[in-house]
Amino acid sequence: MQKHVKRGLWNHLMKDGIEMGLASIIYEVGVASKYVNHAMRTGDLGLAGTSNLYGEDQLALDVLADEIIKDRLDHTGRVRRIISEEQSEIIIFDREKRSGGYAVCYDPLDGSSLVDVNLSVGTIVAIYAGEDPLQDGSRQVGALYVLYGPRTTLVYSAGHGVHEFTLNSLGEYVLTRENIRLKESGRIFSPGGLRADYLPEHEKLVSHLEDNGYKLRYSGGFVPDINQILLKGGGLFMYPATTKAASGKLRLPFELNPMAYLMEAAGGAASDGEKPILELKCHDLDQRSPIYIGSREEVALAEKILSRK
Ligand code: AHM
Ligand code: MG
């Protein structure tokens, strides 16, 4: 007889032996994402002066997403401090005074400027042991993202492979891809930034990719662009240093570290052009870095071309 029970997120976390506190953080972000997803699908786009399902006053979607995720993280009882791309300071959950526990960095709705034109956006989360959310990326104990696209998917790793879950019509995340792995190289590239602002060495890299038949695949949303490279099994996403922004645009604690963790866990790589993203010292909420992330060969190629300054 055909089995109709698919593996859910909690079941998978438990089967992989993920520590209960860490598992509940990942699971609760999944719960939060269902509310964020609902707000997005029901046209709750933060139009001024209207009320919404969740509160008295209408909030912009990114602010609403931030509130929902913050509350669910607090609800786990295992999170001591958080930082969010929507907040300017570290938030301390003082209910949690005992030692242990976790610190969480998250971008509640990355690419939120794409919501009004109905392009895909995402939530990105990095998890650290202890109370300090500003740790180096190599110290992450787990990371995940949720992609709000035609389907809503959640991709996580907690040190035992990278796995994708899809939200079904019953509101459950069910396993759709287990142990996602990148190939050594891919055929697509996603170049962030304005070409007119490229530095010469980055321009050489992009021209090299074009001359060698790489296909341009760029949506303008970090989560869908990374998801494409991960699930297609290779390629290169770049957000470079530019003539206008020496450290690029994307933020280390909220965007780059969690994606670098996931990409490395799937057998890929992530570099600032010289060294691994996960080895960068993280000291500031607003810290940014250029990034070259994807399959190993293309990341190595980027480092090679960029080193010929
Ligand atoms: P945000 O955090 O303000 O939403 O900006 C992040 C987004 C990423 O999703 C995307 O990779 C990048 O900004 C796109 O920037 P650009 O418009 O310069 O290509
Ligand atoms: Mg962002």
Q: Ligand 2 centroid vs 192 CA: distance in angstroms? A: 13
Q: What is the pLDDT along the chain (309 residues), one digit of tens a residue?
A: 445 567 999 999 999 999 999 999 999 999 999 999 999 888 755 554 444 444 445 568 889 999 999 999 999 999 999 999 998 899 998 765 666 799 999 999 999 889 889 999 999 999 999 999 999 999 999 999 999 999 999 999 999 999 999 999 999 999 999 999 999 999 999 999 999 999 999 999 999 999 999 999 999 999 999 999 999 999 999 999 999 999 999 999 999 999 999 999 999 999 999 999 999 999 999 999 999 999 999 999 999 999 976
Ligand 1 proximity of 222 Cβ (cutoff 6 Å): yes
Identify which ligand lies nearest to the alpha carbon of 123.
2
Ligand 1 proximity of 298 Cβ (cutoff 6 Å): no
Q: Which of 109, 120, 237, 250 to mutate to test the pocket of ligand 1 (most atoms within 8 A of CB)?
A: 250
Can you give the pLDDT at residue 54? 45
- If 0-12 CB within 10 Å is exposed, 13-18 middle and 19+ buried, where does residue 201 land? middle
Can you give the pLDDT at residue 100? 76
Can you give the pLDDT at residue 5? 61
Ligand 1 atom nearest to 121, measured from its CA: 9
CATH code for the structural domain at 188-306: 3.40.190.80
Q: Ligand 2 centroid vs 111 CA: distance in angstroms? A: 6
Protein residue closest via CA to atom 6 of ligand 1: 111
Beta-carbon contacts of residue 159 (< 8 Å; ≥ 6 apart): 141, 142, 265
Can you give the pLDDT at residue 295? 98
Ligand 1 proximity of 78 Cβ (cutoff 6 Å): no
C-alpha 149, offset from chain centre: 14
The residue ranges of every structural domain in the chain are: 9-177, 188-306
Identify which ligand lies nearest to the alpha carbon of 254.
2
Can you give the pLDDT at residue 95? 65
Q: Which of 85, 110, 145 to mutate to test the pocket of ligand 1 (most atoms within 8 A of CB)?
A: 110
Give the SS3 label for residue 138.
Answer: helix
Ligand 1 proximity of 220 Cβ (cutoff 6 Å): yes
Give the SS3 label for residue 292.
Answer: strand
Ligand 1 proximity of 221 Cβ (cutoff 6 Å): yes
Relative orientation angle of helices 20-41 and 61-76, to the nearest 10 degrees: 150
How many CB atoms sit inside 10 A of residue 259's CB?
A: 30
For residue 43, what is the DSSP state? T
Can you give the pLDDT at residue 52? 44
State which residues have CB under 5 angstroms from ligand 2, the bound ion. Answer: 107, 110
Q: Ligand 2 centroid vs 6 CA: distance in angstroms? A: 32
Strands 236-239 and 269-271: unpaired
Give the SS3 label for residue 36.
Answer: helix
Can you give the pLDDT at residue 58? 54
Can you give the pLDDT at residue 53? 46
Can you give the pLDDT at residue 300? 98
Whole-model pTM: value is 0.94
Can you give the pLDDT at residue 128? 98
Q: Ligand 1 centroid vs 76 CA: distance in angstroms? A: 30
Cα radius of gyration rounded to whole Å, the chain: 19
Q: Name which CATH class applies to 9-177.
A: alpha beta
